[in-house]
A and B are shown apart, each in its own frame.
Chain A
């Protein structure tokens, strides 16, 4: 692994925050349980720390190695390669999903007459440039933009303060605990479990001893910010609209009195999405490069990004078709990729250490 690329702890934190904020900000799975959204979210967030702890432990046990290399070490050349392919597929797929969500978001909210493919290609061009500039630049750009996102969330929440209605919290657990738990599992998978991608990024942190602190702190901050958005949207919109509307933050931004802020808010939301798609595609191209023992990942960026655009169109016919799809998706993504395999890797590394 070439070690001349290095990112600082601020950059890693910005990448993690941008990634987690990413598409969750516009489409949070907890909206399904309407007024209990905050409860599911809290459960998922808490479990997210456990998952992140597992990932960081894996990365610390294999210093300087990315996920693909760790797989080779843990499972051997052949099985390792197969699992690595599975992960790479997951990264590309995730990038395509996020891309499509952002395309749908802008088509629904701002540009109803623009063909979605045009927007997707525009985003992808930016992302290609983003990834081609290298991980260091990705870190630096996130470092500039992520604070803007956080400020925007807090500002919008403060501006909406007059519209808050605490009655929207009740009744708590109207339909029992089961739906709350299901939504919590969904939010654990998306976005917190997706942080497994950062196993491709962790080894580039310049001071590895900061990894645990940086990771947990950034998850704490961004989790809090997402909690604020969840509670804000719930309180402002009420349980009914909140669960029905596809993109609650967009519609609550429209409710700010006297000032039309929503185009600016939409664009702020885009920053997080770019970081997320950037990290996903970066992990994918980096994974392919390491899978075939190559040195330079640049040649893969353009083809893979093009595949992502096509894939994001093929995923589903329209936005409504996405919701059932996502729930299936959780079971093939969450269990093996985000939980089972990392735990196995961790156990293997622990056993090997004891030998």
Chain B
């Protein structure tokens, strides 16, 4: 408690020292003289070479001065030309301004008759005008008024909607999120055409002012979960939010756990499906990765494609993924334990082969496995980081260090190469745990060398105790296995046919007083005998 308080005061102190963007109270008001306004704007955007300011005079008899300001590169120049500047400078000549246009009606005329932008808002504070300019809108200021206009002219160079590289599918939509927040929300809105899909905006990051969007379906989302998300997002005090990973680290339940309690995805169909289950999505401007909370452990084993292909195959694939998870976690440790402690369990002929291939190897089985495991991790990292032209070199060298050459050099034995290879292949099957499994695998190799299978069992028990205690936004991480919920097992290791999944996940919906019991159930049309 005291520590929290002192941290808060320290933050306030630092903020005071640090804050240059903070406006004084009198500066928030828009000045009513154009000279003051211009001078103030230029002071704010001093040394910002991309800032553009345009002065216009309007009217025949009573001439009114206007200012149009925007940031070059953030606005769509066509929009500014056609919807803002052209109406003001050319179309206004044709309009009958002489009769009733004067200083007092300028505001209304501009708003109702002249400006043709679809998105036009009145803004009453100077700070909001500055924010609007920085966000890519154009602002229009009329001399003598304490109000400015914000015209939506955002449009910058952006990446198109590509197929995401991290989550490839054989069947299913190919589109992925891009870096622009508005595009991403539009992608979601296109999936869920429902007015109950709410998109709450907020700004985070004291220097970057990054736009964050909270996305959920009202009436489906659990009120407590939504409140928790809002509360935790508001609590974030940081300079910069450059990627959704920043937010993830600030809002996750267990910062000292190796397991992720926040999920992320690049694909609108996955995020839409999770929102439809009653989860909250957090979109962050500048990254295609969208966070969804709460996150269950079982979600790491699921893929969107499971729902697009037939249930039998999906169930089989899910069981294979579980097998892959087990293999990639315990296989190296299991091998070490078997060879070092439990030789009597290995079938005799296999034992002979292992012994023969280990002949002449200078290292213990533990060192050997660890060596190969670390080599593989290095190779993997090199594969991600290397500049593309080096790719071929890496693959040739990689095949040498993790292959026959290593065996012939007498550094390692063939079974260890096999074990490492199987571990590597299976680790690619569960990408969401890519940051978790190598650590657990390493620990398991270590304890397997100390206590054999018993040591591994103890560590696995500790991991399970840890996982059982984890919660993601108030929801148990291992649900629906523990706490056991029979109704939710339909979408875990076996995927039931979609028409048989007619209840929503219990832990996301339970105790939700927003909706009546009837509405818990997705009214999927249940197949009757006629069809």
Contacts and interface: CB of A to CB of B under 8 A. Distances in A.
Interface of A: 8, 10-11, 106, 110-111, 114, 119, 122-123, 125-126, 129-130, 133-134, 137, 139-141, 143-145, 258-264, 266-267, 270-271, 274
Contact of B483 (A122, A133, A143, A271): A143
Contact of A8 (B457, B481, B484): B484
A114 B347 CA distance: 25
Nearest to A261: B345
Nearest to B455: A122
A267 B457 contact: yes
B468 A266 contact: no
Interface in B333-379: 341-342, 344-347
Contacts of A141: 461, 464-465, 468, 482
Q: Find the residue from A110, A114, A140, A263 having the highest chain B CB count within 10 A.
A: A140
Given A11-B483, A140-B482, A141-B482, A260 B465 contact: no
Contacts of A144: 464, 468, 478, 481-482
Nearest to A258: B347
B80 interface: no
- Across chains A and B, which 5 residue pairs bring their CB atoms closest together, nearest first? A260-B345, A140-B482, A140-B468, A267-B457, A143-B482
A140 B457 contact: no
Contacts of A110: 341-342, 452, 454
Interface string B471-484: 00000101001111
A263 B342 contact: yes
Contact of B469 (A119, A133, A143): A133
Nearest to A143: B482
A222 B20 CA distance: 69
A114 B469 CA distance: 32
B interface: dominant SS: helix
Nearest to B456: A267
A296 to B, nearest CB: 16
A122 B458 CA distance: 8
B451 interface: yes
Interface size class on chain B is: 20 to 34
Q: Find the residue from A119, A129, A137 having the highest chain B CB count within 10 A.
A: A137
A10 B483 contact: yes
B453 interface: yes
Interface in B418-445: none
7 contacts: A110-B454, A129-B462, A139-B483, A140-B468, A141-B461, A141-B468, A263-B345
A137 B458 contact: no
Given A110-B452, A137-B469, 18 more contacts: A11-B483, A11-B484, A110-B341, A125-B458, A126-B461, A126-B462, A129-B465, A133-B466, A133-B469, A140-B476, A141-B461, A141-B468, A144-B464, A145-B464, A258-B347, A264-B453, A267-B457, A271-B461
Q: Find the residue from B342, B454, B483 having the highest chain A CB count within 10 A.
A: B454
A97 B482 CA distance: 29
A211 B327 CA distance: 39
A303 to B, nearest CB: 20
A270 to B, nearest CB: 6
A246 B484 CA distance: 36
A266 B468 CA distance: 23
Nearest to B460: A267
A99 to B, nearest CB: 14
A275 B484 CA distance: 18
Contacts of B478: 140, 144
A126 B464 contact: no
B454 A130 contact: no
Contacts of B342: 110, 260, 263
Contacts of A266: 453-454
Contacts of A122: 451, 454-455, 458
Contact of A133 (B345, B347, B458, B465): B465
Given A144-B481, A267-B457, A270-B457, A137 B465 contact: yes
Contact of A140 (B341, B451, B454, B483): B483
B465 A111 contact: no
A111 B342 CA distance: 10
A10 B486 CA distance: 11
A110 B464 CA distance: 24
A111 B455 CA distance: 11
Nearest to B338: A263
A271 B464 CA distance: 12
A137 B455 CA distance: 21
B465 A262 contact: no
Nearest to A264: B453
A267 B454 contact: yes
B492 to A, nearest CB: 13
A107 B280 CA distance: 51
B238 to A, nearest CB: 31
Contact of A137 (B452, B468, B484): B468
A304 to B, nearest CB: 18
A260 B344 contact: yes
Nearest to B486: A10
B462 A263 contact: no
B336 to A, nearest CB: 13
Contacts of A125: 458
B506 to A, nearest CB: 12
Nearest to A9: B484
B319 to A, nearest CB: 16
Contacts of A114: 451
A143 B461 CA distance: 13
B453 A263 contact: yes
Given A130-B465, A134-B469, A144-B478, A10 B347 contact: no
A145 B458 CA distance: 13
Interface string B247-276: 000000000000000000000000000000
Contact of A126 (B458, B476, B483): B458
A331 B461 CA distance: 35
A11 to B, nearest CB: 7
B261 to A, nearest CB: 16
A106 B453 CA distance: 11
Nearest to A271: B461
A324 to B, nearest CB: 29
Contacts of B468: 133, 137, 140-141, 144
Contacts of A258: 347
A337 to B, nearest CB: 29
B454 A106 contact: yes
B461 A274 contact: yes
A111 B453 CA distance: 11
Given A10-B484, A122-B458, A143-B482, A263 B346 contact: no
B151 to A, nearest CB: 54
Contacts of B457: 267, 270
A73 B466 CA distance: 37
B350 to A, nearest CB: 11
Contacts of B452: 110-111, 263
